[in-house]
A and B are shown apart, each in its own frame.
Chain A
Amino acid sequence: AQSVTQLGSHVSVSEGALVLLRCNYSSSVPPYLFWYVQYPNQGLQLLLKYTSAATLVKGINGFEAEFKKSETSFHLTKPSAHMSDAAEYFCAVDSGGYNKLIFGAGTRLAVHP
């Protein structure tokens, strides 16, 4: 069965520093993987998705993620954090034919001056 693990429920970085949010997945079939962002009291917005084309995926707001099959990882990065990046981030994997997404528990990113 598919599953997602996000390492670190809270991550804190300085403005201008590298952002690294970790996601590991388990999947019995080639996965489709997603990163979503959620701002307080709002819905989720898609940042980027991996659909088996390029392993390095670029998304909105300067984020990117690299699919590494050997490590079963799909970590999210951004070279330079901005105050507006403070939000909660969710990694998700397609359930493999059941038309459902399996979400990780989320990582709350704090950006301080």
Chain B
Amino acid sequence: DGGITQSPKYLFRKEGQNVTLSCEQNLNHDAMYWYRQDPGQGLRLIYYSQIVNDFQKGDIAEGYSVSREKKESFPLTVTSAQKNPTAFYLCASSIPDDYNEQFFGPGTRLTVL
């Protein structure tokens, strides 16, 4: 089955540590996205990538970094510079020309202690 996988489902880290969230898709989509979700705030775009080896900052990129070395993978690193990293993180992918319909992974809940 084609889809998007995110791992792990739950992640705990100590304050000051960097942590990398995994996102893999086998849908052969060119574009991939990372969102942060906090209660009552909807989805906020962190980074997006429309093609391998290229990515753009979204609305809340500070304290995050990404890479796009392979079409199917778009890992997100939450750095120690992110002041409030505890949140639910969602990865998505799309075919840019297909009305930009986005397909979402199951999410990773990050808790920083």
In residues 37-58 of chain A, which contact B (Cβ within 8 Å)?
A: 41-46, 49, 51
Is A90 located at the chain interface by the 8 A CB criterion? yes
In residues 14-62 of chain A, which contact B (Cβ within 8 Å)?
A: 32, 34, 36, 41-46, 49, 51
Chain A residues with Cβ below 8 Å from B90 are 43-44
Contact of A9 among B40, B88, B106 (CB under 8 A): B40
Q: How large is the interface on A (under 10, 10 to 19, 20 to 34, 35 or more residues)?
A: 20 to 34
Is A101 located at the chain interface by the 8 A CB criterion? yes
The A contact surface, by secondary structure, is: loop
Using a CB–CB cutoff of 8 Å, the interface residues on chain A facing chain B are 9, 32, 34, 36, 41-46, 49, 51, 90, 94-95, 99-101, 103-106
Q: Can you list 14 contacts pairing A with B, beta carbon distance less than 8 Å?
A: A34-B101, A36-B104, A43-B4, A44-B43, A45-B104, A90-B42, A90-B43, A95-B100, A99-B50, A101-B100, A101-B102, A104-B42, A105-B40, A105-B42
